[in-house]
Amino acid sequence: MNLNYIKRYIKGDGGQIELQNGNFVDVSRRKKEAFLKAIGY
Q: What are phi and psi of 7, to 5 degrees?
A: -90, -45
Q: What is the pLDDT of residues 4-41, one digit of tens each?
A: 999 999 998 889 999 999 999 999 999 999 999 999 98
pLDDT for the residue 13: 87
